[in-house]
Structure 1
Amino acid sequence: MSTLLEVSGVSVSFDGFKAINNLSFQIAEAELRAVIGPNGAGKTTFMDIVTGKTKPDEGRVIWGEKSLSLLDMDEAQIARQGIGRKFQKPTVFEDQSVRDNLMMALKKDRWVIAVLLFRASDADTARVEELAAEVGLADQLDRIAGELSHGQKQWLEIGMLLAQEPRLLLVDEPAAGMTPEEREHTTDLLVEAAKTRAVVVVEHDMEFVRRLNCKVTVLHEGAVLAEGGLDHVTSDPEVIDVYLGR
Protein backbone atom coordinates (compact mmCIF):
# COMPACT_ATOMS: atom_id res chain seq x y z
CA MET A 1 0.00 0.00 0.00
CA SER A 2 1.48 3.36 -0.96
CA THR A 3 2.14 6.12 1.56
CA LEU A 4 -0.48 8.88 1.57
CA LEU A 5 1.04 11.18 4.21
CA GLU A 6 4.65 11.40 5.31
CA VAL A 7 5.75 13.66 8.14
CA SER A 8 9.54 13.74 8.30
CA GLY A 9 11.86 15.37 10.86
CA VAL A 10 9.26 17.93 11.93
CA SER A 11 9.89 20.21 14.91
CA VAL A 12 8.01 23.22 16.26
CA SER A 13 8.57 25.36 19.35
CA PHE A 14 6.24 27.74 21.18
CA ASP A 15 8.01 30.26 23.44
CA GLY A 16 11.04 27.99 23.73
CA PHE A 17 8.97 24.86 24.46
CA LYS A 18 9.42 22.12 21.85
CA ALA A 19 5.86 20.91 21.21
CA ILE A 20 7.01 18.66 18.34
CA ASN A 21 10.54 17.30 18.37
CA ASN A 22 11.95 15.72 15.18
CA LEU A 23 8.67 13.84 14.57
CA SER A 24 8.38 11.33 11.75
CA PHE A 25 5.08 9.63 10.90
CA GLN A 26 3.66 7.80 7.89
CA ILE A 27 0.20 6.53 7.00
CA ALA A 28 -0.92 4.53 3.98
CA GLU A 29 -3.86 5.27 1.69
CA ALA A 30 -6.44 3.01 3.36
CA GLU A 31 -5.22 2.63 6.93
CA LEU A 32 -6.64 3.15 10.40
CA ARG A 33 -4.18 4.47 12.99
CA ALA A 34 -4.64 5.38 16.64
CA VAL A 35 -2.43 8.06 18.19
CA ILE A 36 -2.13 8.00 21.97
CA GLY A 37 0.05 9.68 24.58
CA PRO A 38 -0.07 11.81 27.73
CA ASN A 39 -1.35 15.40 27.77
CA GLY A 40 1.24 17.67 26.20
CA ALA A 41 2.63 14.84 24.04
CA GLY A 42 2.03 16.88 20.85
CA LYS A 43 -1.05 15.08 19.52
CA THR A 44 -3.05 18.25 18.78
CA THR A 45 0.00 20.11 17.45
CA PHE A 46 0.65 17.18 15.09
CA MET A 47 -2.87 17.56 13.67
CA ASP A 48 -2.46 21.35 13.51
CA ILE A 49 0.68 20.91 11.39
CA VAL A 50 -0.94 18.42 8.99
CA THR A 51 -3.96 20.71 8.48
CA GLY A 52 -1.87 23.88 8.06
CA LYS A 53 -3.00 25.60 11.25
CA THR A 54 0.59 25.56 12.55
CA LYS A 55 3.74 25.85 10.44
CA PRO A 56 6.72 23.87 11.79
CA ASP A 57 10.19 25.35 12.30
CA GLU A 58 11.76 22.50 10.32
CA GLY A 59 10.95 19.24 8.58
CA ARG A 60 8.78 18.08 5.69
CA VAL A 61 5.11 17.13 5.33
CA ILE A 62 4.61 15.29 2.04
CA TRP A 63 1.19 14.41 0.59
CA GLY A 64 -0.09 11.97 -2.03
CA GLU A 65 1.34 10.27 -5.08
CA LYS A 66 2.63 13.58 -6.48
CA SER A 67 4.67 14.19 -3.29
CA LEU A 68 3.23 17.65 -2.71
CA SER A 69 4.50 19.69 0.23
CA LEU A 70 1.63 20.60 2.56
CA LEU A 71 3.91 23.25 4.09
CA ASP A 72 3.53 25.28 0.88
CA MET A 73 -0.28 25.36 1.28
CA ASP A 74 -2.71 27.26 3.51
CA GLU A 75 -5.51 25.59 5.50
CA ALA A 76 -8.10 25.94 2.71
CA GLN A 77 -5.75 24.47 0.07
CA ILE A 78 -4.93 21.54 2.38
CA ALA A 79 -8.64 20.88 2.96
CA ARG A 80 -9.17 20.85 -0.82
CA GLN A 81 -6.43 18.23 -1.11
CA GLY A 82 -8.75 15.92 0.82
CA ILE A 83 -7.70 16.28 4.45
CA GLY A 84 -10.64 16.50 6.85
CA ARG A 85 -10.45 17.14 10.58
CA LYS A 86 -12.96 16.47 13.30
CA PHE A 87 -12.44 18.36 16.52
CA GLN A 88 -13.41 17.01 19.93
CA LYS A 89 -16.53 19.16 20.27
CA PRO A 90 -19.00 18.50 17.44
CA THR A 91 -19.59 21.50 15.18
CA VAL A 92 -22.88 21.07 13.34
CA PHE A 93 -25.54 23.58 12.28
CA GLU A 94 -27.77 23.10 15.34
CA ASP A 95 -30.88 24.78 13.93
CA GLN A 96 -30.80 22.89 10.61
CA SER A 97 -32.04 19.35 9.96
CA VAL A 98 -29.67 16.40 9.69
CA ARG A 99 -30.53 16.29 5.98
CA ASP A 100 -29.64 19.98 5.48
CA ASN A 101 -26.37 19.60 7.40
CA LEU A 102 -25.29 16.75 5.15
CA MET A 103 -26.52 18.51 2.00
CA MET A 104 -24.50 21.64 2.83
CA ALA A 105 -21.41 19.49 3.38
CA LEU A 106 -21.49 17.76 -0.03
CA LYS A 107 -18.40 18.33 -2.14
CA LYS A 108 -19.59 21.15 -4.39
CA ASP A 109 -18.48 24.34 -6.07
CA ARG A 110 -18.26 26.85 -3.19
CA TRP A 111 -18.41 30.09 -5.20
CA VAL A 112 -21.08 32.46 -3.88
CA ILE A 113 -23.22 32.36 -7.04
CA ALA A 114 -23.07 28.56 -7.19
CA VAL A 115 -24.15 28.36 -3.54
CA LEU A 116 -27.03 30.80 -4.08
CA LEU A 117 -28.24 28.91 -7.16
CA PHE A 118 -27.77 25.46 -5.65
CA ARG A 119 -30.66 23.04 -6.10
CA ALA A 120 -30.30 19.48 -4.84
CA SER A 121 -30.28 16.91 -7.63
CA ASP A 122 -31.59 13.37 -7.27
CA ALA A 123 -27.97 12.25 -6.98
CA ASP A 124 -27.38 14.74 -4.14
CA THR A 125 -30.46 13.50 -2.29
CA ALA A 126 -29.39 9.87 -2.76
CA ARG A 127 -25.86 10.67 -1.52
CA VAL A 128 -27.21 12.39 1.60
CA GLU A 129 -29.40 9.37 2.38
CA GLU A 130 -26.42 7.08 1.80
CA LEU A 131 -24.25 9.14 4.18
CA ALA A 132 -26.98 9.18 6.84
CA ALA A 133 -27.21 5.38 6.64
CA GLU A 134 -23.42 5.08 6.79
CA VAL A 135 -23.22 7.01 10.07
CA GLY A 136 -26.36 5.51 11.59
CA LEU A 137 -28.71 8.48 11.19
CA ALA A 138 -30.98 7.20 8.41
CA ASP A 139 -34.04 7.52 10.68
CA GLN A 140 -33.05 11.02 11.87
CA LEU A 141 -32.80 12.86 8.52
CA ASP A 142 -35.62 15.32 9.20
CA ARG A 143 -34.71 15.91 12.83
CA ILE A 144 -33.17 19.24 13.89
CA ALA A 145 -29.47 18.66 14.63
CA GLY A 146 -29.67 20.48 17.96
CA GLU A 147 -32.06 17.80 19.25
CA LEU A 148 -29.59 14.94 18.65
CA SER A 149 -27.68 13.27 21.46
CA HIS A 150 -23.97 14.08 21.87
CA GLY A 151 -23.03 10.82 20.14
CA GLN A 152 -25.41 11.42 17.25
CA LYS A 153 -23.97 14.91 16.73
CA GLN A 154 -20.51 13.35 16.54
CA TRP A 155 -21.77 10.90 13.87
CA LEU A 156 -23.41 13.74 11.95
CA GLU A 157 -20.15 15.66 11.91
CA ILE A 158 -18.27 12.57 10.72
CA GLY A 159 -20.94 12.23 7.99
CA MET A 160 -20.39 15.87 7.01
CA LEU A 161 -16.66 15.23 6.71
CA LEU A 162 -17.25 12.07 4.66
CA ALA A 163 -19.49 14.16 2.38
CA GLN A 164 -16.35 16.10 1.43
CA GLU A 165 -14.82 12.82 0.20
CA PRO A 166 -11.59 13.19 2.19
CA ARG A 167 -8.60 10.93 1.57
CA LEU A 168 -7.41 11.47 5.15
CA LEU A 169 -9.65 11.94 8.17
CA LEU A 170 -8.19 13.23 11.46
CA VAL A 171 -10.51 12.54 14.39
CA ASP A 172 -9.91 13.97 17.87
CA GLU A 173 -11.16 11.94 20.85
CA PRO A 174 -14.39 10.69 19.29
CA ALA A 175 -15.30 8.47 22.28
CA ALA A 176 -15.35 11.32 24.84
CA GLY A 177 -18.77 11.72 26.47
CA MET A 178 -20.37 8.82 24.62
CA THR A 179 -22.44 5.97 26.03
CA PRO A 180 -20.98 2.43 25.63
CA GLU A 181 -23.44 1.76 22.76
CA GLU A 182 -22.48 5.00 21.01
CA ARG A 183 -18.78 4.18 21.41
CA GLU A 184 -19.33 0.77 19.82
CA HIS A 185 -21.14 2.30 16.84
CA THR A 186 -18.39 4.94 16.48
CA THR A 187 -15.76 2.17 16.37
CA ASP A 188 -17.65 0.41 13.56
CA LEU A 189 -18.05 3.70 11.69
CA LEU A 190 -14.32 4.54 11.79
CA VAL A 191 -13.24 1.00 10.90
CA GLU A 192 -15.59 1.09 7.90
CA ALA A 193 -14.37 4.56 6.84
CA ALA A 194 -10.75 3.36 6.91
CA LYS A 195 -11.46 0.74 4.24
CA THR A 196 -11.49 3.49 1.59
CA ARG A 197 -9.36 6.26 3.13
CA ALA A 198 -6.74 6.92 5.82
CA VAL A 199 -8.16 7.60 9.29
CA VAL A 200 -6.09 8.86 12.24
CA VAL A 201 -7.83 8.72 15.62
CA VAL A 202 -6.40 10.58 18.62
CA GLU A 203 -7.84 8.94 21.72
CA HIS A 204 -7.29 8.41 25.48
CA ASP A 205 -9.84 5.64 25.98
CA MET A 206 -7.77 2.43 25.80
CA GLU A 207 -10.81 0.18 25.43
CA PHE A 208 -11.92 2.24 22.43
CA VAL A 209 -8.41 1.97 20.93
CA ARG A 210 -8.44 -1.80 21.52
CA ARG A 211 -11.71 -2.13 19.64
CA LEU A 212 -10.27 -0.21 16.68
CA ASN A 213 -7.80 -3.11 16.37
CA CYS A 214 -5.21 -1.10 14.43
CA LYS A 215 -1.60 0.07 14.56
CA VAL A 216 -0.94 2.49 17.44
CA THR A 217 1.54 5.39 17.53
CA VAL A 218 2.53 6.61 21.01
CA LEU A 219 3.68 10.24 21.21
CA HIS A 220 5.71 11.64 24.11
CA GLU A 221 7.33 15.09 24.31
CA GLY A 222 6.56 15.68 20.64
CA ALA A 223 8.23 12.54 19.30
CA VAL A 224 7.25 8.93 18.56
CA LEU A 225 7.96 6.84 21.66
CA ALA A 226 6.62 3.51 20.35
CA GLU A 227 4.65 2.11 17.44
CA GLY A 228 2.88 -1.19 16.74
CA GLY A 229 -0.11 -3.17 17.94
CA LEU A 230 -1.80 -2.09 21.18
CA ASP A 231 -0.46 -5.08 23.16
CA HIS A 232 3.04 -4.36 21.88
CA VAL A 233 3.06 -0.66 22.82
CA THR A 234 1.27 -1.11 26.16
CA SER A 235 3.87 -3.65 27.28
CA ASP A 236 6.72 -1.25 26.44
CA PRO A 237 8.36 -0.20 29.78
CA GLU A 238 8.83 3.40 28.57
CA VAL A 239 5.17 3.70 27.54
CA ILE A 240 4.08 2.29 30.93
CA ASP A 241 6.39 4.75 32.67
CA VAL A 242 5.37 7.95 30.86
CA TYR A 243 1.71 7.24 30.09
CA LEU A 244 -0.02 4.13 31.39
CA GLY A 245 1.58 4.07 34.84
CA ARG A 246 0.12 7.43 35.82
Structure 2
Amino acid sequence: MTLLEVSGVSVSFDGFRAINNLSLQIGEPELRAVIGPNGAGKTTFMDIITGKTRPDEGRVSWGERNLSLLSMSESQIAREGIGRKFQKPTVFEAQSVRENLALALKNKRGPFDVLFYRKTAEGGQRIEAIAEEIGLTAHLTRRAGELSHGQKQWLEIGMLLAQDPRLLLVDEPAAGMTPAEREQTTDILKRAARTRAVIVVEHDMEFVRRLDCKVTVLHEGSVLAEGSLDHVTRNQDVIDVYLGR
Protein backbone atom coordinates (compact mmCIF):
# COMPACT_ATOMS: atom_id res chain seq x y z
CA MET A 1 0.00 0.00 0.00
CA THR A 2 1.17 3.57 -0.73
CA LEU A 3 1.55 5.40 2.58
CA LEU A 4 3.04 8.69 1.34
CA GLU A 5 2.67 10.27 -2.09
CA VAL A 6 4.50 13.46 -3.06
CA SER A 7 3.18 14.86 -6.36
CA GLY A 8 4.59 17.78 -8.36
CA VAL A 9 5.96 19.58 -5.33
CA SER A 10 8.08 22.73 -5.81
CA VAL A 11 9.43 25.26 -3.33
CA SER A 12 11.68 28.30 -3.82
CA PHE A 13 13.70 30.32 -1.31
CA ASP A 14 14.66 33.82 -2.52
CA GLY A 15 14.40 32.73 -6.14
CA PHE A 16 16.37 29.48 -5.60
CA ARG A 17 14.34 26.34 -6.42
CA ALA A 18 15.18 23.96 -3.58
CA ILE A 19 12.53 21.44 -4.71
CA ASN A 20 11.54 21.32 -8.36
CA ASN A 21 8.45 19.33 -9.42
CA LEU A 22 9.32 16.47 -7.05
CA SER A 23 7.20 13.31 -7.19
CA LEU A 24 7.73 10.04 -5.32
CA GLN A 25 5.82 7.33 -3.47
CA ILE A 26 6.67 5.46 -0.27
CA GLY A 27 4.98 2.18 0.60
CA GLU A 28 4.12 0.65 3.96
CA PRO A 29 6.18 -1.19 5.06
CA GLU A 30 9.24 0.00 3.12
CA LEU A 31 12.87 0.97 3.67
CA ARG A 32 14.04 3.74 1.31
CA ALA A 33 17.41 5.50 1.07
CA VAL A 34 17.55 9.06 -0.29
CA ILE A 35 20.95 10.20 -1.57
CA GLY A 36 22.29 13.12 -3.60
CA PRO A 37 24.88 15.92 -3.57
CA ASN A 38 24.73 18.82 -1.12
CA GLY A 39 21.95 21.20 -2.14
CA ALA A 40 19.96 18.41 -3.83
CA GLY A 41 16.91 19.14 -1.65
CA LYS A 42 17.12 16.21 0.78
CA THR A 43 16.56 18.26 3.95
CA THR A 44 13.87 20.45 2.33
CA PHE A 45 12.08 17.24 1.25
CA MET A 46 11.94 16.13 4.91
CA ASP A 47 10.95 19.63 6.03
CA ILE A 48 7.94 19.53 3.66
CA ILE A 49 6.77 16.10 4.88
CA THR A 50 6.96 17.20 8.53
CA GLY A 51 5.23 20.56 7.96
CA LYS A 52 8.29 22.71 8.66
CA THR A 53 8.30 24.12 5.10
CA ARG A 54 5.23 24.83 2.95
CA PRO A 55 5.70 24.19 -0.78
CA ASP A 56 4.62 26.71 -3.44
CA GLU A 57 2.77 24.03 -5.39
CA GLY A 58 2.04 20.30 -5.46
CA ARG A 59 0.38 17.73 -3.20
CA VAL A 60 1.53 15.55 -0.32
CA SER A 61 -1.00 12.76 0.42
CA TRP A 62 -0.91 10.51 3.48
CA GLY A 63 -2.46 7.17 4.42
CA GLU A 64 -5.57 5.31 3.36
CA ARG A 65 -7.74 8.42 3.39
CA ASN A 66 -5.33 10.44 1.21
CA LEU A 67 -5.11 13.20 3.81
CA SER A 68 -3.25 16.33 2.72
CA LEU A 69 -0.23 16.89 4.98
CA LEU A 70 -0.01 20.43 3.58
CA SER A 71 -3.14 21.47 5.50
CA MET A 72 -1.76 20.23 8.85
CA SER A 73 0.49 21.78 11.50
CA GLU A 74 3.78 20.14 12.54
CA SER A 75 2.17 18.74 15.71
CA GLN A 76 -0.82 17.33 13.78
CA ILE A 77 1.59 15.63 11.34
CA ALA A 78 3.51 14.12 14.27
CA ARG A 79 0.23 12.81 15.72
CA GLU A 80 -0.60 11.25 12.35
CA GLY A 81 2.44 9.02 12.88
CA ILE A 82 5.38 10.75 11.19
CA GLY A 83 8.54 10.80 13.30
CA ARG A 84 11.80 12.54 12.40
CA LYS A 85 15.30 11.98 13.70
CA PHE A 86 17.74 14.82 13.09
CA GLN A 87 21.46 14.32 12.58
CA LYS A 88 22.49 15.38 16.09
CA PRO A 89 20.97 13.14 18.76
CA THR A 90 18.67 14.94 21.20
CA VAL A 91 18.13 12.84 24.33
CA PHE A 92 17.54 13.83 27.96
CA GLU A 93 21.15 13.43 29.14
CA ALA A 94 20.45 13.61 32.89
CA GLN A 95 17.77 10.88 32.70
CA SER A 96 18.37 7.13 32.42
CA VAL A 97 17.85 5.24 29.17
CA ARG A 98 14.68 3.72 30.69
CA GLU A 99 13.34 7.16 31.67
CA ASN A 100 14.03 8.54 28.18
CA LEU A 101 12.03 5.69 26.62
CA ALA A 102 9.23 6.07 29.22
CA LEU A 103 8.92 9.78 28.44
CA ALA A 104 8.56 8.98 24.74
CA LEU A 105 5.95 6.21 25.07
CA LYS A 106 2.74 6.78 23.17
CA ASN A 107 0.39 7.70 26.01
CA LYS A 108 -2.50 10.11 26.41
CA ARG A 109 -1.00 13.59 26.63
CA GLY A 110 -3.71 15.66 28.33
CA PRO A 111 -2.72 17.66 31.46
CA PHE A 112 -4.49 15.22 33.80
CA ASP A 113 -3.06 12.17 32.01
CA VAL A 114 0.47 13.49 32.52
CA LEU A 115 -0.27 14.51 36.13
CA PHE A 116 -1.70 11.13 37.12
CA TYR A 117 0.56 9.01 34.91
CA ARG A 118 1.11 5.59 36.47
CA LYS A 119 3.77 3.11 35.44
CA THR A 120 1.98 0.17 33.85
CA ALA A 121 3.16 -3.39 33.28
CA GLU A 122 2.36 -2.90 29.61
CA GLY A 123 4.53 0.24 29.44
CA GLY A 124 7.38 -1.61 31.15
CA GLN A 125 7.18 -4.48 28.65
CA ARG A 126 7.13 -2.03 25.76
CA ILE A 127 10.28 -0.30 27.09
CA GLU A 128 12.04 -3.67 27.46
CA ALA A 129 11.06 -4.64 23.89
CA ILE A 130 12.30 -1.34 22.42
CA ALA A 131 15.56 -1.53 24.42
CA GLU A 132 16.16 -4.98 22.94
CA GLU A 133 15.34 -3.73 19.44
CA ILE A 134 17.92 -0.90 19.70
CA GLY A 135 20.55 -2.96 21.53
CA LEU A 136 20.45 -1.03 24.83
CA THR A 137 18.96 -3.64 27.21
CA ALA A 138 22.17 -3.73 29.27
CA HIS A 139 22.16 0.08 29.55
CA LEU A 140 18.59 0.77 30.75
CA THR A 141 19.74 2.15 34.13
CA ARG A 142 22.61 4.26 32.74
CA ARG A 143 22.32 8.01 32.35
CA ALA A 144 21.84 8.88 28.69
CA GLY A 145 24.69 11.40 28.93
CA GLU A 146 27.15 8.54 29.57
CA LEU A 147 26.33 6.73 26.32
CA SER A 148 28.58 6.76 23.26
CA HIS A 149 27.57 8.85 20.23
CA GLY A 150 26.22 5.74 18.46
CA GLN A 151 24.27 4.59 21.52
CA LYS A 152 22.65 8.04 21.83
CA GLN A 153 21.59 7.74 18.17
CA TRP A 154 20.01 4.34 18.92
CA LEU A 155 18.27 5.73 22.00
CA GLU A 156 16.77 8.54 19.93
CA ILE A 157 15.59 6.03 17.31
CA GLY A 158 14.09 4.03 20.22
CA MET A 159 12.31 7.15 21.51
CA LEU A 160 10.76 7.63 18.07
CA LEU A 161 9.77 3.94 17.90
CA ALA A 162 8.12 4.34 21.33
CA GLN A 163 5.67 6.74 19.66
CA ASP A 164 4.79 3.95 17.21
CA PRO A 165 5.15 6.01 13.99
CA ARG A 166 4.03 4.74 10.60
CA LEU A 167 6.82 6.71 8.90
CA LEU A 168 10.28 7.31 10.33
CA LEU A 169 12.56 9.94 8.72
CA VAL A 170 16.21 9.46 9.68
CA ASP A 171 18.87 12.04 8.75
CA GLU A 172 22.46 10.77 8.23
CA PRO A 173 22.45 8.19 11.04
CA ALA A 174 25.94 6.85 10.18
CA ALA A 175 27.74 10.19 10.73
CA GLY A 176 30.38 9.97 13.46
CA MET A 177 29.84 6.26 14.17
CA THR A 178 32.39 3.49 14.47
CA PRO A 179 32.15 0.65 11.87
CA ALA A 180 30.56 -1.65 14.49
CA GLU A 181 28.00 1.02 15.44
CA ARG A 182 27.18 1.61 11.77
CA GLU A 183 26.56 -2.12 11.32
CA GLN A 184 24.19 -2.25 14.28
CA THR A 185 22.40 0.90 13.04
CA THR A 186 21.63 -0.73 9.68
CA ASP A 187 20.23 -3.75 11.54
CA ILE A 188 18.02 -1.50 13.73
CA LEU A 189 16.65 0.38 10.69
CA LYS A 190 16.03 -2.80 8.68
CA ARG A 191 14.14 -4.32 11.61
CA ALA A 192 12.07 -1.15 12.07
CA ALA A 193 11.16 -1.16 8.35
CA ARG A 194 9.53 -4.60 8.58
CA THR A 195 6.43 -3.02 10.14
CA ARG A 196 6.55 0.64 8.98
CA ALA A 197 8.02 2.98 6.38
CA VAL A 198 11.57 4.22 7.04
CA ILE A 199 13.28 6.88 4.90
CA VAL A 200 17.04 7.26 5.46
CA VAL A 201 18.89 10.30 4.10
CA GLU A 202 22.57 9.37 3.90
CA HIS A 203 25.92 10.21 2.24
CA ASP A 204 27.80 7.07 3.25
CA MET A 205 27.51 4.71 0.25
CA GLU A 206 28.76 1.68 2.19
CA PHE A 207 26.01 2.29 4.75
CA VAL A 208 23.40 2.58 1.97
CA ARG A 209 24.68 -0.68 0.44
CA ARG A 210 24.19 -2.46 3.77
CA LEU A 211 20.61 -1.18 3.97
CA ASP A 212 19.97 -3.16 0.77
CA CYS A 213 16.87 -1.21 -0.25
CA LYS A 214 15.42 0.95 -3.01
CA VAL A 215 17.40 4.17 -3.50
CA THR A 216 16.11 7.57 -4.69
CA VAL A 217 18.73 9.99 -6.01
CA LEU A 218 17.82 13.69 -5.74
CA HIS A 219 19.49 16.40 -7.81
CA GLU A 220 18.47 20.07 -7.92
CA GLY A 221 15.24 19.25 -6.13
CA SER A 222 14.04 16.49 -8.50
CA VAL A 223 14.33 12.70 -8.70
CA LEU A 224 17.32 11.94 -10.94
CA ALA A 225 17.20 8.15 -10.66
CA GLU A 226 15.50 5.42 -8.64
CA GLY A 227 16.10 1.72 -8.09
CA SER A 228 18.64 -0.56 -6.42
CA LEU A 229 21.99 0.95 -5.45
CA ASP A 230 23.71 -0.98 -8.27
CA HIS A 231 21.14 0.34 -10.74
CA VAL A 232 21.47 4.00 -9.75
CA THR A 233 25.28 3.94 -9.45
CA ARG A 234 25.50 2.72 -13.07
CA ASN A 235 23.34 5.63 -14.24
CA GLN A 236 25.55 8.06 -16.19
CA ASP A 237 23.65 11.13 -14.93
CA VAL A 238 24.18 10.01 -11.32
CA ILE A 239 27.89 9.42 -12.00
CA ASP A 240 28.20 12.89 -13.56
CA VAL A 241 26.41 14.93 -10.88
CA TYR A 242 27.14 12.95 -7.72
CA LEU A 243 29.49 9.99 -7.74
CA GLY A 244 32.09 11.60 -9.99
CA ARG A 245 32.73 14.35 -7.44
Q: TM-score range by the shorter chain?
A: over 0.9
Q: Structure 2: how far apart are the matches of 1:132 and 1:25?
A: 33
RMSD (Å), alpha carbons: 0.5
- The aligned counterpart of 2:108 is 109
Which consecutive aligned stretches of 4+ in structure 1 deviate over 3 angstroms post-superposition?
Answer: none
- The aligned counterpart of 2:219 is 220
- The aligned counterpart of 1:197 is 196
Q: Structure 2: how far apart are the matches of 1:125 and 1:108?
A: 13
- The aligned counterpart of 1:96 is 95
Q: Structure 1: how far apart are the matches of 2:184 and 2:90?
A: 19
- The SS at the match of 1:204 is coil
- TM-score normalised by the chain length of structure 2: 0.99
Q: Deviations over 1:3-41 (max 9, x none)?
A: 000000000000000000000010101000000000000
- The SS at the match of 1:53 is coil
- The aligned counterpart of 1:86 is 85
- The aligned counterpart of 2:120 is 121
Residues 1:211 and 2:210 are matched in the alignment: yes
Q: Structure 1: how far apart are the matches of 2:129 and 2:238?
A: 41
1:113: Cα distance to partner? 2.0
- The SS at the match of 2:156 is helix
Q: State the identity as a percent.
A: 76
- The aligned counterpart of 1:136 is 135
Q: Structure 2: how far apart are the matches of 1:61 and 1:19?
A: 16
- The aligned counterpart of 1:24 is 23
1:63: Cα distance to partner? 0.1
- The aligned counterpart of 1:50 is 49
The aligned amino acid for 2:128 is E
Q: Structure 1: how far apart are the matches of 2:158 and 2:178?
A: 19
Q: Deviations over 1:95-133 (max 9, x none)?
A: 000000000000011112211211110111111011101
Structure 2: gaps spanning 5 or more residues: none
- The SS at the match of 1:48 is helix
Q: Structure 1: how far apart are the matches of 2:35 and 2:132?
A: 30
Q: Structure 1: how far apart are the matches of 2:2 and 2:128?
A: 32
Q: Structure 2: how far apart are the matches of 1:126 and 1:237?
A: 50
The aligned amino acid for 1:206 is M
Structure 1: gaps spanning 5 or more residues: none
- The SS at the match of 1:154 is helix
Q: Structure 2: how far apart are the matches of 1:119 and 1:91?
A: 25
- The aligned counterpart of 2:32 is 33
Q: Structure 2: how far apart are the matches of 1:233 and 1:55?
A: 29
Q: Deviations over 1:49-68 (max 9, x none)?
A: 00000000000000000110
- The aligned counterpart of 1:6 is 5
- The SS at the match of 1:44 is helix
- The SS at the match of 1:13 is strand
Q: Structure 1: how far apart are the matches of 2:67 and 2:59?
A: 10
